[in-house]
Structure 1
Amino acid sequence: MKAFELRDKDKVLLNKELSDLLKAQFGLRMRFATQQLQNTSQLKKVRRDIARVRSILTEKAN
């Protein structure tokens, strides 16, 4: 997910996207803890996407 794609969305959609990403992160962490996660790079991607969404929400708040 790119930042310019997120900037086109409104706050409601961004909050929903953030919620979905946090749920995905939780699921990946549980799979990692039980050693069922094959591709550990997914954790890094989701964490960066969460940071992008939060940054865009902060920009829109101002």
Structure 2
Amino acid sequence: MTVKEIRDMDSSKLLLEIDTLKEELFDLRFKQAIGQLENPARLKEIRKTIARIKTVITERELSDSK
């Protein structure tokens, strides 16, 4: 997911997306622990996407407060 796609979404959808990504991250960590992880790069990708979403949400909150 690119930053442009994230910025086009509204805040409620972004919060739902974070929840979905956190669930997927949990599942991938579990698979990694038992040795069945097929794509280890996906862990890093999900963490970065969550960070991007949180950054956009924070930017929106700061711009709303001004």
TM-score range, shorter-chain basis?
over 0.9
In the alignment, structure 2 segments of 5+ residues that lack a partner are none
Deviation track 1:1-40 (CA, whole Å, cap 9, x = no partner) reads 0001111111100000010011110010000001010211
Question: Identical aligned pairs, as a percentage?
Answer: 37
Amino acid corresponding to residue 32 of structure 1 in structure 2: Q
Q: Which runs of 4+ in 1 moved over 2 A?
A: none
Aligned to 1:38: 38
What is the aligned residue count? 62
- Report the structure, 1 or 2, having the larger helix content: 2
Q: In 2, Cα distance between the equivalents of 1:38 and 1:6?
A: 27
Could you state the TM-score of these two structures normalised by the residue count of structure 2? 0.89
For residue 60 of structure 1, report the CA deviation from its aligned partner. 1.0
Q: In 1, Cα distance between the equivalents of 2:43 and 2:54?
A: 17
In the alignment, structure 1 segments of 5+ residues that lack a partner are none
